[in-house]
Amino acid sequence: MTNTLHITSISELHAALGLDAPAHPLVSFFHPSQVKQGITSSVKVCFDLYLISLKDSAHCTIGYGNTTYDFDIGTMTFLAPGQEVVIEATEPLEDSLGWTIAFHPQLIARSDLSSKMSQFTFFEYQNSEALHLSERERVMVTDIASSIGNETEMNMDKHTQSLICSSIELLLKYCSRFYDRQFIVRADLNHDYMRRFNQFLDSYYQGEKPFEQGIPTVQYCGKEIGLSPYYLSDLIKKETGKTALEHIHLFLIERAKSQILDTSDSITQIAYELGFEYPQHFSKLFKAKTGVSPRQFRNDPTATH
């Protein structure tokens, strides 16, 4: 049976891994080779911390859907507070290029970074949506991470928190850049996900699900095609300039246009068939996207903007 472990602080994280006492109470930088305590059985862990990890090539086989990719250099994963992960049994690693930065939300609570964290949506990605680095990229992020580690080892003064937060923000900005590169490099895979997303929407509206479950959410769509909602939305944003939710709405509008013009169904009936709980919500969305109400569109299909 899987055990559950709740890590609420940097000190608890160090104790769980057999690391020496942390040099800083709110942030830590360590290598796998420093971990003295292996995991003897599968354990579910909930962290109240942000975790940024680089795994070296020896421990880096990642699956995307039904495809497995092996990476020569390394993989980065990101975890936000409150998320749960399952860690399989493992022994401490004697030699590894990897590292982990862990920090408590209190570290950035009064910094500019706190209000920017929502921009870094990759903290909500699944492990299978990890960031895969070239050698040059690995060196760049490792240099920044090492500077954070060095700062934690220095005597704390009025500059410590600002310097650490600035370095974390710089690291995350580089990761955003590298994710943009990854989306471009994986264009074929992204196109396949786009195709599957559109096929899912088509099939969803072929049956009774709109009546039973309403309009499919981004989370529901992502689960059906094997992606986290944030990764799906970011992928579609890179491909189309629209978020996943906007894409769903545009799909609904195009389907609504066909039903309005090709059937004699009432606007209310069409709204229910599309999964809207309240017809007025459908009319509001339709007008927001087309510039006219559904009834105006039925009377004059050329009136849209």
pLDDT 10s digits, 47-63: 999 999 998 755 444 43
All structural domains of the chain: 3-185 (2.60.120), 188-303 (1.10.10.60)
pLDDT at residue 85 above 90?
A: no
pLDDT at residue 176 above 90?
A: yes
Q: What is the mean pLDDT of residues 75-99?
A: 77
Tokens in use for 93?
A: 């690693």
pLDDT at residue 91 above 80?
A: no
pLDDT at residue 92 above 80?
A: no
| CA–CA separation, 54 and 131 (whole Å) | 9
End-to-end CA distance of the chain, in Å?
A: 59
Amino acid at 263: T
pTM for the model: 0.84
Least confident range of 141-150, 184-193, 244-253, 272-281 = 184-193
Q: Are 97 and 73 in contact (CB under 8 A)?
A: no
pLDDT at residue 72 above 50?
A: no
What contacts 1, CB < 8 A, 6 or more positions away? none
Q: What is the mean pLDDT of residues 95-117?
A: 92
Q: What is the mean pLDDT of residues 136-142?
A: 95
pLDDT at residue 302 above 70?
A: yes
pLDDT value, residue 46: 92
